[in-house]
Amino acid sequence: MLFTSYSFVLLVAATTLLYYVLPRKAQWPLLLVASGVFYWFAGPSFLIHLTVTSVTTWFAALRIGGIGGRLATALAAGKESLDKEGRKALKAKAKSAQRVWMLAALLLNFGILAVVKYANFAIVNVNAALAAFGSAEKLSFLTIALPMGISFYTFKTMAYLIDVYRGKFPAERNVFRLALFASFFPQLVQGPISRFDDLSKSLFEEHRFDRRVVLSGLQRVLWGFFKKLVVADRILPAVAAIVKNPDQYDGAFVLVGMLFYAVQLYADFTGGIDITIGISEMLGIRVAENFNAPFLARSITDYWRRWHITMGTWFRDYIFYPMSVSGPMLKLSRWGREKLGEGFGRRLTVYLTTLVTWFATGIWHGSSWNFVAWGLANGLAIIVSQECEPLYARFHRRFPWKGKPAYAAFEVVRTFLLMSCLRMFDTYRDVPLTFRMFGSMFARFDLARVFDGSLLKLGLSVADYGVLAAALVLLVASRVAKDRAGDFRSRLAERPAALRTALTFVLLLLILVFGAYGIGYDAKQFIYNQF
Amino acid sequence: MKRFRVLSFLVAAAVLMAGTLWLVQRLVEPKYDTGIVEGNLTAAYYQETTGHDVVFIGDCEVYETFSPIALWREYGIASYVRGTAQQLMWQSYAMLEDTLRHETPMVVVLGVIAMKYDQPQKEAYNRMTLDGMRWSKAKLDGIRASMLPEENLLDYMFPLLRYHSRWSSLTAADVRYLFSRPRQFHNGYYMRVDVKAATDFPPGKKLADYRFGSNAYAYLDRIAALCEEKGITLVLNRAPLLYPYWYPEWDAQMVQYAKDHGLQYYNFLAERDAIGLDFSTDTYDGGLHLNLAGVEKLSLRMGSILRDACGVPDRRSDPALAAVYAEKGAFYDAMARKQRDEIARYGHVLGYGPLQQGDAG
């Protein structure tokens, strides 16, 4: 069920209506049912995966919590009889038992993810390796469908499990509540990757109907649809034309494609997240923000603090930090400091952890080498940027421009272009082709070719470009207004109901008329659905 | 008091929003004012102020084949053509059901060429046939039976969802015909006076299976049953057109069907010499459709069948009806004259829509 399908709109409308009509204690069970319906449309068999993940995570977390509880009881009972060593031994034994449960659940669930998402990628590479060594043997591909949103719900549930193991919060006792956390339908397919302690309170508490809240949520939903249908899906044919015909559209067209794809991906992904957050808001549920004006980032690290924030923090909290303080890394760090010097030796482990984290980030986005290359390229860019820090510092000492508007603008443009270049691995989906097209951008750059009427052969008419331009102006203006005077919706909430309603209706009308949808349009899934 | 104010606000807002959406929808809906005018055929029926003894139902082989004005003038038969482009059997059934909501004719003349289609064909034709129909269970069933996999019922219920992309190609006609469509037809007959002589048509390709599909038969059965239930005489016919090819095997099936169900079936293709059709002068597109000259010849033959075999009465003595048809006849003659003038002046007909700009009806 696509977010842009009529059935999804009907599901949301019916769920919202029932949510406030039924007794309040039925609210979260209703959401579980709605999530089940949503997932059923994707493929009834996928519900099995989701159920296995929910139940095994719930059970493992409950066992971990139980061990923790028994440990606390034992420690309390033996408060006087146990010495320090005895207490330590008890704790170690309990931790070890907890670790077994955690690892078992992690292995099982990441194992499922690995098999359904990466098995065929592995087979492709094994077959290529066998062929390279002259073997005629070939492994057969597995015929497994990729369950919708598996990367997202696996990450959510595994974060929950690890947090219970770390003692951040107690295990959830009700399996259905955990199932709802895993499957909450607005965020099932593209995030944000919410944390249990972040989401659970508002997810399970009872909500009274508040028309201001519902209207505000609806405005955010419509804003999301505006971005998706008026911007992302309208520019999509041009991106597809450029990317699918690299021989025809090389040189300056690569730059055009790069910029168009940046717009498409931004509008598509942030639009989807707006819809998710807006629906949640209509239901009184607070979902973590996932973006903070990423195209205004002034450095690559700044960018990744603003783009897909919940994914970035997930990799930071569950891969980067644990790996940084793991035994082997500490040993490597010691070795590095002894052999390579204090500074670089210390940085070596950080860089290695950075590369591993970005490798994981890349492969999480897709089971193909272009995503691996994209992830590693991001990691390398961050490392190079960090290695150049002394150079930057010297530059800024000599030219004290930092903080000045013109230099800030330069930093924003530089970061945008750098990230757009890295995104080419995602755009072209082929590593050698990406390098070839990147090269052609410089070798055959001829801007006149772009403006000789070719732009109108990319599947967009003058009217389409007009709508796109107007929509982009609206997007930028809304951001500028937010920075200057605060969130537009919050300010609108203070205005008379007639104005609020009228503006919401105008937004709906703009989407209905200028959106790219229905027969005649090749409306695509949200790009992030596939992850 | 507060509750009343809130309620009033909600009602006013709902009415305003619904009104705006309706207006925008009307604006972007295709007006079919020039070029392809067939999209207005279905809705034109609701402009009728008098009943009809005969209703023709089918595709272009009825709406470009029989002239109700000629039938009136020659036989005093009050008739209407409820046909649209590529109207499939399930759509003809919906059209019959819709007609029966307004009147019960004595005779229904059904074109059978659509029997060759057993499945929905093309979204554009579905829309031209069904968009103009007033909402009823018949329309809903017709839509459900007609939809292709990529179509959606909601798009029919809210045409804005289907036609919104026309915003970039709106013309003055979209504003001109915002509330009323142009008068283009003559009791459902789509007039063409131009001539393009028929040349050679390739013989029909050999088919693997000549049997009509079960879906088409099912709807023919439903049409026959509904006519029987309402006491309507059902007449089946195949228009005397050279293309699409009408296989003897298809004809045999219709002959058999008519025999099995006690219906009349006329294959006018076999009678074209007796009717006096000359495909060097009586067709406007090389034999695919008849022009006015051909239509009037065939209507003479059809009129005699309706009068003699079906007992359809002559209504010319009814002064109210005669007045209505006199006005219709004047419009008919004026359009024929206009088309002939344009052909004489420009070599071709400029348009098949209203007689002049702003001629809405």
pLDDT tens digits for A210-232? 988 999 999 999 999 999 999 99
Give pLDDT, residue A521: 56
Give pLDDT, residue A367: 87
Q: How far is CA A85 from CA A70, A91, A167, in A?
A: 18, 10, 22
Give pLDDT, residue B84: 94
Angle, vertex CA A467, rays to CA A466 and CA A471, nearest 5: 120
Mutate to test the interface with B, among A465, A513, A514 (most CBs of B within 10 A): A513
**What residues 100-159 of chain B have any CB closer than 8 A to a CB of chain A?**
123, 150-152, 154-155
- Mean pLDDT, range A406-423, rounded to an integer: 94
Give pLDDT, residue A156: 95
CA A186 to chain centre: 14
Confidence of residue A72 (pLDDT cuts 50, 70, 90): confident
Q: Does B269 touch chain A (CB under 8 A)?
A: no
Task: State the average pLDDT for chain B.
Answer: 92
Predicted structure pTM score: 0.88
Beta-carbon separation of B13 and A461 below 8 A: no
Closest Cβ opposite residue A519 in set B24, B151, B167: B151
Pair B17, B159: CB distance under 8 Å? no
Beta-carbon separation of A463 and B168 below 8 A: yes
B177, pLDDT greater than 50: yes
Confidence of residue B58 (pLDDT cuts 50, 70, 90): very high
Beta-carbon separation of A461 and B155 below 8 A: no
Pair B21, A509: CB distance under 8 Å? yes
Would you please indicate which residues of A are annotated as catalytic (active-site) residues? Answer: 365
Give pLDDT, residue A450: 84
Q: Does A6 touch chain B (CB under 8 A)?
A: yes
In which residue are the tokens 């204690």 written? A25
Q: Enumerate the residues of chain A whose CB falls inside 8 A of the CB of residue B159.
A: none
Taking CA atoms, what residue in A is nearest to B23? A509
A340, pLDDT greater than 90: no
Measured CA to CA, the distance from residue A294 to residue A304 in angstroms comes to 8
Beta-carbon separation of A513 and B161 below 8 A: no
Task: State the average pLDDT for chain A.
Answer: 90
Closest Cβ opposite residue B17 in set A6, A464, A505: A505
Q: Does B20 touch chain A (CB under 8 A)?
A: yes
A531, pLDDT greater than 50: no
The larger pLDDT score, comparing residue A320 to residue B6, is at A320
Mutate to test the interface with B, among A499, A519, A521 (most CBs of B within 10 A): A519
A140, pLDDT greater than 90: no
- What is the 8-class DSSP label of residue B50? S
B201, pLDDT greater than 80: no
Give pLDDT, residue A104: 95
Nearest to A276 by CA among A3, A1, A2: A3
Hey, what CATH topology would domain B43-146+181-201+208-346 get? Rossmann fold (3.40.50)
B53, pLDDT greater than 80: yes
Nearest to A183 by CA among A268, A57, A372, A315: A57
Confidence of residue B301 (pLDDT cuts 50, 70, 90): very high
B323, pLDDT greater than 90: yes
Asked if residue A23 has a cis previous peptide bond (ω within 30° of 0), the answer is no
Q: Enumerate the residues of chain B whose CB falls inside 8 A of the CB of residue A463.
A: 167-168
Measured CA to CA, the distance from residue B230 to residue B225 in angstroms comes to 9
Closest Cβ opposite residue A513 in set B17, B151, B164: B164
Confidence of residue A524 (pLDDT cuts 50, 70, 90): very low
Backbone angles phi, psi at B279, to 5 degrees: -80, 5
Taking CA atoms, what residue in A is nearest to B24? A513
Give pLDDT, residue A64: 94
- Mean pLDDT, range A310-328, rounded to an integer: 93
Give pLDDT, residue A523: 42
Taking CA atoms, what residue in A is nearest to B22? A509
Confidence of residue A446 (pLDDT cuts 50, 70, 90): confident
Q: Enumerate the residues of chain B whose CB falls inside 8 A of the CB of residue A515.
A: 164
Closest Cβ opposite residue B162 in set A513, A514, A518: A518
The structural domains of chain B, with segments of one domain joined by +, span 43-146+181-201+208-346
Asked if residue A192 has a cis previous peptide bond (ω within 30° of 0), the answer is yes
Taking CA atoms, what residue in B is nearest to A9? B154
Closest Cβ opposite residue B24 in set A6, A513, A520: A513
Q: Does A7 touch chain B (CB under 8 A)?
A: no
Beta-carbon separation of A519 and B13 below 8 A: no
Closest Cβ opposite residue B160 in set A461, A512, A519: A512
Confidence of residue A520 (pLDDT cuts 50, 70, 90): low
Which stretches within B208-358 are classed as H helix? Answer: 214-230, 248-261, 272-275, 292-308, 319-346
CA distance A196 to chain B (A): 38
Confidence of residue A143 (pLDDT cuts 50, 70, 90): confident
Helices (H) and strands (E) in chain A, counts: 25, 0
Mutate to test the interface with A, among B21, B24, B164 (most CBs of A within 10 A): B164
CA distance B10 to chain A (A): 10
Q: Enumerate the residues of chain A whose CB falls inside 8 A of the CB of residue B150.
A: 519
- The share of chain A scoring above pLDDT 70, in percent, equals 98
Measured CA to CA, the distance from residue B17 to residue B23 in angstroms comes to 10
- Mean pLDDT, range A201-211, rounded to an integer: 93
Quick check: helix, strand or coil at residue B243? coil
Find the distance separating the first CA and the last CA of chain A, reported in whole Å.
Answer: 15
